[in-house]
Amino acid sequence: MLKIVFGEIENSIYHPPTYFDNQYEDEWITDPLSVEMIKDIDRSEVISAHLIESPVLGPISPKEISGGVKTLILMMFDDTGKIFNASSCGDNCAKWIVEIGKRKELTINLHHVLDFSSADEFDALMLNTGRVIHSYREYFHEALNIKER
């Protein structure tokens, strides 16, 4: 289940892209979910664990993919118990965060109201209030209430 917490929290990685550059494993890059996320978010093709073909940058290493994709890959594969700051992701990552939350227990940290409208209906536990939400509309209202406190 997806769990969302707003604000500063312990055990959170504030800048996941830097953490990724120093922690990722080759098999994370070639996993089918990562391949799909890299294609969707960065419009790039994974050739191998060390080579990604970007339509803008040409051949790049995994260290050169976007910060949003790096954060998503960490959310899926890092098993250290760290909580990743999803505010480093663009709104185009929201549907993938929901998907990862369906596959595993996932707690994310936010410092802004991420636009989950692409996911429309999803379940998440809002850790600041303990409320379970079931849609983007419920999330949005709950997030605004948390941010106003």
pTM of the prediction? Answer: 0.95
**Total domain count for the chain?**
1
Euclidean distance between CA atoms 38 and 45, whole angstroms: 7
Residue 44 CB neighbour total at 10 angstroms: 22
Kindly report the number of other CB atoms within 10 A of residue 89's CB atom.
25
Q: How far is CA 56 from the centre of its chain?
A: 23
Task: Give the total residue count for the chain.
Answer: 149
User: How deeply is 69 buried, as exposed, middle or buried, from its count of CB atoms within 10 A (0-12, 13-18, 19+)?
Assistant: buried
Q: What is the pLDDT of residue 110?
A: 96
Q: What angle do CA 121, 125, 129 make, to 5 degrees?
A: 125
Q: How many CB atoms lie within 10 A of CB 143?
A: 21
Pairing status of strand 2-6 against strand 124-126: parallel
pLDDT in single tens digits along all 149 residues of the chain: 999 999 989 889 999 999 999 999 999 999 999 999 999 999 999 999 999 999 999 999 999 999 999 999 999 999 999 999 999 999 999 999 999 999 999 999 999 999 999 887 899 999 999 999 999 999 999 998 886 66
Per-residue confidence (pLDDT) for residue 60, from 0 to 100:
98
Tokens 């536990």 found at: 125
Task: Determine the structural domain holding residue 124 and report its residue range.
Answer: 2-148
Nearest to 121 by CA among 143, 138, 144: 138
- CA pair distance 52, 121, nearest whole angstrom: 33
Distance in angstroms (rounded) separating the CA atoms of residues 29 and 70: 10
Q: What is the pLDDT of residue 145?
A: 85
